[in-house]
Structure 1
Amino acid sequence: MKILVIEDEADLREIVKASLLKEEYTVETAADYGSALEKVAVYDYDCILLDIMLPGGNGLQILDQLKNEGKSDNVIIISAKDSLDDKLKGLELGADDYLTKPFHIAELNARIKAVLRRKQREGKHTLEMGNIVLDLNERCLFIAQEPVPLNRKEFDMLNYFLLNKNRLVSKSALAEHVWGDNTDQADNLDFIYSQIKNLRKKFLASHADVDFEAVYGIGYKLVEK
């Protein structure tokens, strides 16, 4: 699960990020209106924590854009402004929840899990292609109805490819989605090739109907054989 934390207070942003990483979420952050707007325009997130007062703009403007794109139902507003008007406006724009600062991290985690549970119930629980089925609830893969073990990164990577099947996925977009902000610390993207290689071995051993098609210098496509 991938979460975006939009928060300008550096200490709070890092505390929330550290807590979410312990829960084994993929976490990205944005400290101002401009960077937040750029990220929500390019990437999809399972949950967004959104501060209202941001340098350069208002979080409700970001929420308005998300609503226009049908993505506002996974947003939790976190704000020091304990204003009924702001709360009602946020909920009218489709925000899923509203949490006023200061708050306990345990409460935030509980709110996030509730949002994710609701989102999963409303959506599909599996992704399928050929003879492979990825169970999103149990985080497991079945090939020809037989279970195939995956580590966390392999699961997240395959999940992303199945959401974009038959589409070219660039290495940078894939790294950003699966590894989040920590991608910037990597000297190169060779680790992606390593994960692709591991998945290919599992596909081959289990006679999967799908495979990765490499597009030299750009990325990969998940295609049926």
Structure 2
Amino acid sequence: MTPELLALQSATVRFGPKVALRGVNLSVARGERIALLGANGSGKSTLLRAAHGLVPLAEGRRIVGAATPVRFAMVFQRPFMLRSSAQANVELGLMLQGVPPAQRRERAAMALERVGLAAEAGRIGRVLSAGQQQRVALARAWALQPDVLLLDEPTSSLDPTAKREVESLIEEFAAQGITVLMSSHNLGQVKRLANRVVYLEHGRLLADVTTDHFFNGPLPVEATLFLKGELPWD
């Protein structure tokens, strides 16, 4: 049986009077590639943050696999870049993790080489292209050696070439055994990268099926309308 890394049980998240997640149940096993789909405001980003433990649950529980420590890393839609080199931006996460300086430098250099940016290590992160910044963010996440990689719309602002580069990296990370949980509006990307789809609407989880089932099998009416483009994105 594939070990469970993470579970959310009846997870509810509130921001003031707004309920962003409503009683969500989600189980994540090692090696899965899960795509979160839904219109803007459906709760995808909140679910990612709840899975990471970045937002508190008003109700329900977040359970992390107890057999071994589970390491999480998250890449946001617009990655945060320090006003320093790409190398320093990758080292930041390692520093926060308490990795000694010599090891930080070595692991950051390996991570930048891994994403094809070794030659840009000394350039200021904020002057890199959007695609390069996203690859720096992926390098920063990969350097943390995560068990679970959470991605919030990782290619939404990128041109087609940069999208392909980032998708290729995600595929490579998943092939290494890293569990991927990502939100996306790109249905083609979901077909290429995910083996499971979770559909959200107004903070509720309405479908949790294989990717093949989502695109070819019966679904709740809301998810069917979404696939037809008959629900608003905003």
- Bin of the TM-score, shorter chain as denominator length: under 0.3
Larger Rg: 1
Q: Which has the higher contact order (CA 8 A, sep 6+)?
A: 2
Q: Which is helix-richer, 1 or 2?
A: 1
Normalising by structure 1, report the TM-score. Answer: 0.26
Normalising by structure 2, report the TM-score. Answer: 0.25
